[in-house]
Every structure is written in C-alpha cells, then in structure tokens.
Chain A
Amino acid sequence: MNDLTQLTISQARAKLCAKEITATEITEAYLSAIERANPALNAYVAVTDDKAREMAKASDAKLAKGEGGSLEGIPLGIKDLFGTEGIHTQACSHVLDGFKPRFESTVTTNLWADGAVMLGKLNMDEFAMGSSNETSYYGPVVNPWRRSRLDTVVMPTTHQGDGGFVSAGGTRTAQTLDNAQLVPGGSSGGSASAVSAFLCAGATATDTGGSIRQPAAFTGTVGIKPTYGRCSRWGIVAFASSLDQAGPIARDVRDAAILLKSMASVDPKDTTSVDWPVPDYEAAIGKPIKGMKVGIPREYRVDGMPEEIEALWQKGIAWLKDAGAEIVDISLPHTKYALPAYYIVAPAEASSNLARYDGVRYGLRVPGKDIVDMYENTRAAGFGREVKRRIMIGTYVLSAGYYDAYYLQAQKVRNLIKRDFENVFAAGIDVILTPATPSAAFGIADEDMAADPVKMYLNDIFTVTVNMAGLPGIAVPAGLDAKGLPLGLQLIGRPFDEETLFQTAHVIEQAAGSFQPEKWW
C-alpha cells in the first residue's frame, strides 16, 4: 500500500510487527498528511512533530528487537483535554493560555507505555462544552464530509450505427460535492475529523453527554464511551466529574477495541476508577450474537426526527435480527428528562470545577484594581460565551434557595433514569439499540442553533442518558443519508460490559460496510 495513512491500527500493527513498514515511515506519512490538510480542517491545535519522530524512532528500536507493545509505532492524535507533559494542554480555552503541564494524564501514560506515538493535540469545544466544535478558542473544526448535490445533466442524443448504443438524450443526475462546510460534531470534533480524514490512526476523546459518540456519528467513525470508572480521569481537564469518561475514536470497531484496552486501567490517583481486570476487547469481535436480546426503547422515537434516522434504526434492527438476535420492545420511561437533568448536573459540576481558573496558578491573567477585580476580569476575558453560560447556570442552581428545587431534583431524576436501565437489564436485555444522533452533521454557523442554545443541546438527546446512568455506549457508522452524509447507530450496554458492545457493533459494521469521505482538502 502506498499511502500508509490508509491502514487501520490492526493492519498497521501487523505490518509493523512483520517489519514490512517502520514506525518512522508511518509517522512521517501522517505528519505530511497533517501539514497538507490541517489548514483546511483545523483538527490539530498543536502538532508535535519532533516528539512524534523521537517516539517513532524509539518504537522502531523496540520493534527491531521484537519487544514492541500492543500499540508500538501507532501514531495517535490526543484531544487537548488530556494533560500531556510539557505540551500544549488548554482544553481549547483562552483562559489556559500557554499552559504546559508538568504531568501526564494516566490515559496517555498508558498509551505511551504500550508504544503509541503522539502526533499532536486535537481541537475541541472549549472545556468540552459544545456539540459542534464551534466553541473552541482556536476556531471551528471542519468535517471532512460534505453534502453531495444532485445536479441534472442534459444528455446529448447520439446514435452509434446498427444495433449499437443509442442514447435518447434526456437528462441524468450527477453527484457533486456541495461546498458548504459542516461541523464534525463536538466536543471531540478534532478527534473525529482527524480520524475520518486520515490525519491519525486513532484518537483519544472524552464524553460527558455525547462528546465521543455524536462526533463519531457525524464523521462515519467509531466512538465508544466506556462505563464510568473504566478509564482513569486523572490528568484530564475536568468538566463534570460524575459524567466525564475518556474513550477512543477510531476507523473501525476493532481499532476502538484495541485502543480502549490500552486506555483503560485502575488508577490510585482516581478513586472512581474501577479495580477490575481490563478484558481483551478484541477477542469479543466476531463472536456470534445468536440469541442475544436487543432492546428497542420506544421513547427514542422523538418528534421531528427525520425519516432517514427511523429508517436507519429499522435497518439496524433487521441486521441484528438476521444475525440471530432476539428483538425486544422496551420502555425507558424517564428518557425525556435526561437532557434537562443533565443541564442542571453538568453545569453545577462545571461551575465548581472551573472555579480554579482565577489568573493565579496558571494561564491567563487580566489585571484589576484588586484581587477580586483581577479574578473577574480574567474569567470574563478567558472564558467563551458557552462556558460562561454554563458556569452561570451552575452557579445559579447551586445558589442558596435554589439547590433543592434544581440540583437535588435533578439528582433524584438521575436515579430514576438509571433505574429504567437497571429494570430492562434485569429483565434479560443484553444490549440496547438506538440512533446515535437525531440528525446528520449540520452547517458551521447554523443560525437556528446560534439563536437558541437549547437547540444545540438537543444534539445529545440520545447519548446523554448513557452518561446520566454511567453506562457504556458505542456509536458505529450504519449508512449515509440522501445527501451522502454518514449516520450512526448507538448500542448501550450493561455496566462494564463493553465486550458485548464491540461484539454487536461489529455485526452492524459487517452489514453496513465502512464509509470514507471523498477527499477535497
């Protein structure tokens, strides 16, 4: 293969181990792809070429001795939310200007220990707050996917002699790419765009309400948010600590399994990380799903959902049925309350977590006439609009007199949402199938969404329930819409049963095929 960036992680791993290619060659291939594409896509906010070359060289030395780790020589992109020692880590916020941590997050430490190579830091919504990657201080990320436009072409009338081909003229339709720039989703928009556009073999991402699964669905990639506690949160910039989880975005289900195996671990530095062995997720891929009970929650059929999403869901149901699964209609009655409860819990936790950005310990400082004035000026200049909005909501719902009405009520509703899932799993459901998003990717600077923050929040309507209940969820590409944009399905599993998600997602992937954007950048 000429272009090494086209290899999946599992293919690259095999070629590296067989010494058909070197880590340096594949790293160089990605670095030149980034150099060419990044001005158009804005997926990377920092490219660490020297570090990448140095890590690739070390990997080549190990591979030569046959001592490579499970990700030896595999070039990855890292979301800017992960603390990386001595390297740009700003959660794509102005308030963290110039921050280069003196520590390395546990997840990235695990990846480097397994031999992965860091290409750079990936763009994201500021502090992971957004569903379009438009809130980044570094500007929006562009989705490598574009809508196709059907143009009518007039055909000339031709005659080609006796019995030959005769065209009667008339018209035919030709597909061309529309120039409108689309969002890659968010908050892990840089991760999704980079994976989809072959600017890294795989990427780290994080998911608080859908930030791995929604961008994966918008870019035709695979994204898994593991169970809360599966990956250590240590060293990752905190947004909403009871909801945040790290996970991978990858080109296919197998690559996602390989990456999660490396990322997951128990960690004494995160007391919410779980002390259970990390299974070999790859081994689950290819296992038959015959007899598996797949729940179809009726509450996920929402008003105004495009028919294409419903059709995609039905296709997914048919594929799993064909593979021998038993399809069961289920009810998760509190589904509609997940998003409003999230918009109390997440901002409340964020307002507390983001209190640390005060112009004293790191990042931006804007002077003031006294210390309080300095805090207020720093935070006013350092945070973008969406982040301020959420800090304000969080501060309000936690303030005296409102705590019970908002925060306590939301935490009670959260228990009901979790109970809904517990009930269906107790009734024997193994996995739940839903659409991943209520629409395909939308345009950058969409006017409706800019005018009403709630419209943007509705992007996470199918994914946010999973965070509220701490469950694992995977988004897997399942088809294209009429305009040629990717659409994804979501599978939700029992706590710590990521294996069933990989197993089932692989069945969907086999049936649906894989999807690549047409290169225009």
Chain B
Amino acid sequence: MSVDVKTVKRVARLARIAVSEEDAERMTGELNAILGFVDQLNEVDVSGVEPMTSVTPMEMKKRQDVVTDGNKAADIVANAPATEENFFLVPKVVE
C-alpha cells in the first residue's frame, strides 16, 4: 500500500502536526519507502495465530481501588507553559 500527498495531510491533521506543502511532499516519499518495506509482512501466513497482547506471560496485577497518590497540584502544573491558580491555561475553546 502507498499514500498520496492528500492522505499524508489527513494523517498529519490526525496527528496534530502542522505540515507545509513542501513537508507533505517530502513525507509522502519517506512514508512510502517505509510502507514499502513493511509490506513484506503480507507474505507471512498468520492463519490461526493470535495477535500478541503481552510479551512476557504475566497476570495483570490488581490492587485495591483506593487513592494512593495525589494532592500535588502545584507539582503537576510546575512545568506548564501557562497556568493560573493550579489550572492549565489554554486558548479559549468555548465561546
């Protein structure tokens, strides 16, 4: 399978990465080289094979559904580019 510039722009939109016309054209070539490389997986007979869900056989660990951490609002916003009173500030999303 291969992608065209239009698909690359759509994927960039899904990935939330702004791309210029020039970027999109360059990426189309690069992505097609990679997709061409991975195409060989289609020759593998996978009938009856389950997709991997865990690389080592382990049981999912469970714990009591209780609060074990928290009350760190100042730590959580400490690295944010814009904050006010322990809230993240973002451009207006609701008119």
Residue ranges of A at the interface with B (Cβ–Cβ < 8 Å): 98-103, 227-229, 242-243, 268, 271-272, 274, 334, 336-337, 339-341, 343-344, 351, 355, 358-365, 367-368, 370-377, 379-380, 383, 388-389, 391-393, 395-396, 399, 402, 405-406, 408-416, 418, 452-454, 457, 468-470, 495
Contact = CB atoms under 8 A, between A and B. Distances in A.
A264 B65 CA distance: 27
Nearest to A351: B15
A237 to B, nearest CB: 13
Contacts of A271: 60-61
Nearest to A89: B79
Contact of A409 (B13, B42, B55): B42
5 contacts: A360-B80, A379-B17, A406-B38, A408-B51, A410-B41
Contacts of A396: 3, 7, 11, 31, 35
B7 to A, nearest CB: 8
B11 A399 contact: yes
Contacts of A272: 56, 58
A359 B81 contact: yes
B14 interface: yes
Contact of A411 (B16, B52, B78): B52
B41 A374 contact: no
Given A361-B88, A371-B93, A454-B34, A392 B12 contact: yes
Interface in B56-95: 56, 58, 60-61, 63, 72, 75-82, 88, 90-93
A102 B72 contact: yes
A367 B90 CA distance: 10
A340 B37 contact: yes
Contacts of B77: 361
B33 A365 contact: no
Contacts of B30: 389, 453
A423 to B, nearest CB: 14
A337 B18 contact: no
A380 B55 contact: no
Contact of A470 (B1, B19, B55, B82): B55
- Sorting the interface of chain B by its residue count into under 10, 10 to 19, 20 to 34 or 35 or more gives 35 or more
B50 interface: yes
Contacts, number: 166
Contacts of A228: 55-56
B34 A380 contact: no
A101 B80 CA distance: 11
Nearest to A368: B91
Contact of B34 (A99, A393, A399): A393
B35 to A, nearest CB: 8
A341 B41 contact: yes
Contacts of A100: 79
A376 B63 CA distance: 38
B27 interface: yes
A393 B13 CA distance: 13
Interface in B26-51: 27, 30-31, 33-35, 37-42, 44, 46, 49-51
A406 B35 CA distance: 10
B91 to A, nearest CB: 5
A102 B75 contact: yes
B17 A380 contact: yes
A6 to B, nearest CB: 39
B5 interface: no
A268 B63 contact: yes
A470 B56 contact: yes
B16 to A, nearest CB: 4
Contacts of B27: 388-389, 392
Nearest to B60: A271
B44 to A, nearest CB: 5
A412 B43 CA distance: 13
Shortest Cβ-Cβ A-B pairs, 3 listed: A470-B55, A411-B51, A365-B81
Q: Which of B8, B81, B82 has the largest count of A CB atoms less than 10 A from its CB? A: B81
B91 A371 contact: yes
Contacts of A409: 41-42, 44, 46
Q: Which of A102, A268, A370 has the largest count of B CB atoms less than 10 A from its CB? A: A102
Nearest to B17: A379
Given A360-B80, A412-B50, A374 B91 contact: yes
A225 to B, nearest CB: 13
Contact of A363 (B61, B76, B79): B79
Contacts of A365: 81-82
A277 B24 CA distance: 50
A361 B81 CA distance: 7
Contacts of B80: 360-362
A324 B34 CA distance: 44
Contacts of A453: 30, 33-34
Contacts of B93: 370-371
A360 B88 contact: yes
A363 B78 CA distance: 11
Contacts of A376: 13, 16-18
Nearest to A99: B79
A392 B56 contact: no
A391 B18 contact: no
A275 B80 CA distance: 35
B41 A344 contact: yes
A392 B11 contact: yes
A71 to B, nearest CB: 27
